[in-house]
Amino acid sequence: MAQTILIIHTGGTIAMAENKKTGTVTQSSANPLRDTTEQFGDLNFIILEPFQLPSPHITLTEMLTLKQLIETELTKKSIHGIVITHGTDTLEETAYFLDLTVDTEIPIIITGAMRSSNELGADGPVNFINAIRVAADPSSSGKGVLVVMNDEIHAAKNVTKTHTSNVSTFQSPQYGAIGTITKRVIHFHHQPIEQEKFKITHVDKNVMLLKAYAGMDSALFLSLAEMKIDGLVIETLGQGNLPPDTLTGITKLLNDEVPIVIVSRCFNGIVEDIYSYEGGGYDLKNRGLIFSNGLNGQKARIKLLVALVHGENKAYLQSVFMR
């Protein structure tokens, strides 16, 4: 019996076209990928378009919609794989959100494009075709949400956009791609050893993300305290350090019982409680900041949003972020 692949189009450059007169890129009136599936005569397709948005317009609301849509379709039909097309700017965040919240062994593949459908060297069609191939391949099962771009397969937890326009923009610092795609085969050479799943029905927490810089003071932190936020992620300096002038604002947030998670603004390595000077990692750990095990800032924010649905206990949150 032929496999069934669920395809969910959400917009982005992969569904856009370039205006040859102005050079601007806008949404196409018809999805340029609509006829691409015809070459897969041995597969059945369910094609849905819940929304068509450029990726900077994607919010947690749309991510939750995708989660719920996938779960609904999985209960109604026998689906062997899922492909989601998505704009690249926030693709990694949607991928990680679904990786954390959709509990299934069925492959979920997210792909996009760096060049619109009518540009020279458009990468959308080949990325889409490869994503379908990976979704239909039995070896893709049980590996969590995967990102397929530029003939590579990446784990949602590790992949990030590293270049503003290059087609090889999606990389996994420290770990690398978990698989490659050739004209004939899908080849996995390693896979994540752990998967986390959180049962959620809503995401209503207000979590902010800040990036540390030389000479940073408490102004932004004190402003956030006035906003009554639910959580904060800080991309700290180096191994997990902050300028000492930030500590007044951070202390205010901690006294208000706002959980603060720190990651590094470096894209390799993890934060650790090493330096004991004022604002150093050891000092921050003793003050009650939560250390993360290698996530980047945008993904740590997604994880904190999801984890806060289950509880705000510091010990619980610290255990979540050390996995």
Query: What pLDDT sits at residue 154?
Result: 98
The arithmetic mean of pLDDT across residues 216-220, rounded, is 98
Query: What pLDDT sits at residue 30?
Result: 67
Query: What pLDDT sits at residue 77?
Result: 83
30-34, 228-232, 299-303: least confidently modelled range: 30-34
The arithmetic mean of pLDDT across residues 33-50, rounded, is 85
Answer yes or no: are the C-beta atoms of 155 and 178 closer than 8 Å.
Answer: yes
141-152 residue pLDDT tens: 999 999 999 999
Q: How confident is the model at residue 156 (pLDDT cuts 50, 70, 90)?
A: very high
> Which two three-digit tokens encode residue 114?
């760096």
Query: What pLDDT sits at residue 15?
Result: 86
> Which two three-digit tokens encode residue 27?
């949404």
The arithmetic mean of pLDDT across residues 151-179, rounded, is 97
Query: What pLDDT sits at residue 17?
Result: 79
56-70, 225-239, 245-259, 307-321: least confidently modelled range: 307-321
Q: What are the backbone dihedrals phi and psi of residue 160, each rounded to the nearest 5 degrees, phi first?
A: -150, 155
pTM assigned to the model = 0.95
Catalytic residue among 13, 88, 160, 246: 13
> Which two three-digit tokens encode residue 48?
């849905």
Q: Is residue 97 over pLDDT 90?
A: yes
Domains, the chain, in order of start with CATH, read: 3-188 (3.40.50.1170), 207-321 (3.40.50.40)
CA separation for the pair 15, 113 (Å, rounded): 9
Q: Is residue 32 over pLDDT 80?
A: no
Instruction: Examine the residue annotation and report whether 13 is marked as an active-site residue of this protein.
Output: yes
267-285 residue pLDDT tens: 999 999 999 999 999 999 9
Answer yes or no: are the C-beta atoms of 121 and 165 closer than 8 Å.
Answer: no
Answer yes or no: are the C-beta atoms of 75 and 1 closer than 8 Å.
Answer: no
